Structure 1
Amino acid sequence: MTAHLTRRWDGLMAVLRGASTFVLAFMMITICYDAIMRYAFSAPTHWSLEINSFLLVYLAVMSAAEAQRRDAHIRIDYFKAKLPPRGQAVTGILTSLLGVAFCTIMAWRGGIMMLQAFEYNERVSSSLGTPIGIPYAMLPIGFGLLGLQFALDVWRESLRLMYPEDSDDNRETSSHG
């Protein structure tokens, strides 16, 4: 069952990674288009800034879980690297639990913001008039996914703490040694 859930989670992360790639390419094209229209033809678009601002939020929030899954966030691990494997696992558990707590608060508050924006029909004051609840929806979804990834990290680090001989680090050294 665990392997099945892991495959599903990896599949979801692959979809988000593909969507993020598409969003980044779309942003590049539309920003270049807007720059050309603005400076070459003195006819800037009225939608590019608004849409690309929302897409930038999408990239930051919706791809955070994938970055955490791949261990790609920027961090300073000088002191953690000096700890023994069990100390590293405990540190990983504690930081991941803090991540779960932070993401829970962000998803909860983001959900409240989203629901209120839809309830009061709040819109961006622009020519598009985008309902602000749409970009706000990225907060509970993105932080919810990131919180789930942190919870998976707690589980993984707990296994590493309980069974240090089965950790990936030990398997790599034994297979190369």
Structure 2
Amino acid sequence: MNFLKRPNDFLFRLLLVVASLSLASLCVLVVYSVVMRYVFADAPDFVEPIALLLVIAIAMFGAALKVREGGHIGLDSFVKKLPQKGQTFVAGIQHVCLIAFAVAVFVGCLEMAETTMHDRIPILGLPEGLRYCIPIVASICIAMFSTEHLLALFARKQK
């Protein structure tokens, strides 16, 4: 199990830093935009496209982080009433569904990134496909984190 835990620990810390920096940057960017718009009557054009990229990074990487922590949405009140084997079974299904979701996001975003990579984000001039690269990375992390949880479930079941 260590073969997946160590890379996932590194990925978790890296995503945490990127999501945190994205959130801090978004806060600074919004304050800058508000001050420029309402104090100096000179709204910067570049704020909105950068903010959109930062929001995508925060949302997708935050979702991946919560999968690693096991803090994603669940029906705990129902699951806790099940016997231990039932709880393990439901947790296994949950992680298989998360992996299926991650694969669907990966495939869909990869297709969108390929078809929009030649287009440019207005004002920034960056490839439009960049918007879809962020969820691609997040979906890989979600799949890896869910696989780690599944392996941990099977390891507990073997004991």
TM over 0.5: yes
Instruction: Show the counterpart of 1:158.
Output: 154
- Superposed CA deviations along residues 54-77 of structure 1, whole A, max 9, x for unmatched, are 110011112322211112223331
Q: Look up the equivalent residue of 1:14 and give its one-letter code.
A: R
Shift of 1:110: 0.8
Instruction: Show the counterpart of 1:101.
Output: 100
Instruction: Show the counterpart of 2:142.
Output: 146
Conserved in 2, the CA contact under 8 Å of 1:89 and 1:160?
no
- What does residue range 87-98 of structure 1 map to in structure 2 within 5 Å? 87-98=86-97
Residues 74 and 94 (structure 1), Cα distance of their counterparts in 2 relative to 1, 3 Å cut = closer
Q: Look up the equivalent residue of 2:96 and give its one-letter code.
A: L
Gaps of 5+ in 2: none
- Superposed CA deviations along residues 20-66 of structure 1, whole A, max 9, x for unmatched, are 11111111011000000000111011111110111100111123222
Conserved in 2, the CA contact under 8 Å of 1:61 and 1:142?
yes
Conserved in 2, the CA contact under 8 Å of 1:90 and 1:157?
no
CA distance in 1, matches of 2:33, 2:143: 36
Q: Look up the equivalent residue of 1:157 and give its one-letter code.
A: L
* Greater Rg over alpha carbons, structure: 1
Conserved in 2, the CA contact under 8 Å of 1:46 and 1:127?
yes
Conserved in 1, the CA contact under 8 Å of 2:113 and 2:130?
yes
Aligned pairs, number: 159
Instruction: Show the counterpart of 2:14.
Output: 15
- Structure 1 runs (4+) deviating above 3 angstroms are none
Shift of 1:112: 1.1
2:126 maps to 1:130:
yes
Q: Relative CO higher for 1 or 2, CA cutoff 8 Å, sep ≥ 6?
A: 2
SS in 1 for 2:43: coil
CA distance in 1, matches of 2:144, 2:152: 12
Q: TM-score, normalised on structure 1?
A: 0.83
Instruction: Show the counterpart of 1:24.
Output: 23
Instruction: Show the counterpart of 2:58.
Output: 59
Q: Look up the equivalent residue of 2:128 and give its one-letter code.
A: I
Instruction: Show the counterpart of 2:72.
Output: 73
SS in 1 for 2:80: helix
Conserved in 1, the CA contact under 8 Å of 2:67 and 2:142?
yes
Conserved in 1, the CA contact under 8 Å of 2:8 and 2:145?
no
